[in-house]
């Protein structure tokens, strides 16, 4: 992979990470779920959800009512390309929610641990694990690099 291909891959992965938050927060779940491979895994709250249909039902089903919007804010991901068609990414995030009084408050902070694959020139999540602040990462996760 040459420098231009690496740059394109990194930018494409950053776009997937950003679209995840924007599509989810906008309730555009049919577009959001397309960011995942058909057999993707999603881990959060000690549970693992496997396959697009299950992820859509379980994670998409956590959407708040329209009068209590949520906004995910993602920082710049650290991306390690693992070849032409696979990458690991680590992205710190925070989620803000509207409380019952209509005020915005921090709902959670954490880190996404992502495994992404390129299928037909499109990057998708093959695995996404959310580790919330204060939680220990599962032992099978690759820690973010030091350089």
Give the CATH number of the domain where residue 44 resides. 3.10.450.50
Is residue 141 included in any domain, yes or no?
no
Average pLDDT, the chain: 95
**Average pLDDT rounded to a whole number, residues 79-96:** 97
Domain that residue 42 falls in: 3-132
pTM above 0.85, yes or no: yes
Half-sphere exposure of 117 (CA within 13 A, CB side): 10
Say if residue 66's pLDDT is above 90.
no
> Any residues with CB less than 8 A from the CB of 97 and at least 6 apart, and which?
64, 68, 69, 70, 104, 105, 107
Is residue 137 included in any domain, yes or no?
no
Say if residue 65's pLDDT is above 90.
no
Supply the DSSP symbol for 141.
S
pLDDT band of 36, cuts 50, 70, 90: very high
pLDDT band of 59, cuts 50, 70, 90: very high
Is residue 121 included in any domain, yes or no?
yes
How long is the chain? 147
Q: pLDDT by residue (tens digit) across 105-147?
A: 999 999 999 999 999 999 999 999 999 999 999 999 999 999 8
**Dist CA 32 CA 83 (whole Å):** 25
Say if residue 62's pLDDT is above 90.
no
Q: What's the domain count of the chain?
A: 1
pLDDT band of 60, cuts 50, 70, 90: confident
Is residue 7 included in any domain, yes or no?
yes
Burial of 66 (0-12, 13-18, 19+ CB in 10 A): exposed
Tokens 């494409």 locate to 12
Is residue 142 included in any domain, yes or no?
no
SS3 state of residue 75: coil
């Amino acid at each position: 992979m040459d420098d231009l291909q690496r740059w394109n891959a990194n930018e494409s992965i950053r776009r997937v990470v950003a679209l995840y938050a924007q599509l989810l927060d906008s309730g555009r779940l049919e577009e959001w779920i397309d960011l995942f491979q058909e057999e993707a895994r999603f881990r959060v709250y000690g549970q693992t959800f496997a396959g697009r249909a299950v992820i859509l039902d379980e994670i998409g089903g956590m959407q708040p009512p329209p009068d209590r919007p949520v906004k995910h804010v993602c920082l710049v991901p650290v991306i390690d390309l693992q070849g032409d068609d696979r990458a690991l990414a680590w992205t710190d995030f925070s989620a803000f929610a509207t409380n019952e009084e209509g005020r915005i408050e921090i709902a959670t902070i954490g880190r996404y641990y992502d495994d992404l694959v390129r299928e037909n020139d499109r990057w998708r999540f093959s695995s996404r694990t959310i580790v919330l602040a204060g939680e220990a990462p599962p032992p099978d996760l690759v820690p973010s690099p030091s350089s």
